Amino acid sequence: MKLIIAFIKPFNLEQVRDSLKSVGVSGMSVSDISGFGRQRGQTEVYRGAEYEVEFVPKVRLEVIVTDELAGPAVAAIESSAHSGEIGDGKIVVVAVEDVVRIRTGERGADAI
């Protein structure tokens, strides 16, 4: 089982969600975060004073998948979140020890 964490540009979320669904990923969670890598932040101007805002809004998307689905899921995210511009984001694949479905108590792959 794998936990796939993707840091993407917020406006790509719908595309990425649809792309993941089309490869068979059934659930996901998203959070609004800020971050930066090589993407420079933005400059905001208020009454003539310039403010450098380094942290750029991003979306953190997480899905838990079986090992077989990990490759297709990563490919789905990569293709739908890609624009070629700096700031497209990163995908991280983490090995998962266990998963529990809280409602039923199922564990392991059955819980995904």
Query: Where on the chain is the footprint of another protein (CB under 8 A)?
Result: 44-51, 53
- Least separation in angstroms between residue 44's CB and another protein is 5
- Nearer to another protein (CB atom), residue 24 or residue 36: 36
Nearest alpha-carbon partner for 99 in 62, 72, 46, 73: 62
Q: Could you report how far apart the first and last alpha carbons of the chain are, in Å?
A: 9
Range list of H helices, the chain:
13-22, 67-80
- Nearer to another protein (CB atom), residue 53 or residue 75: 53
- Least separation in angstroms between residue 5's CB and another protein is 22
Distance CA 98, CA 81 (A): 28
- Least separation in angstroms between residue 52's CB and another protein is 10
- Nearer to another protein (CB atom), residue 48 or residue 105: 48
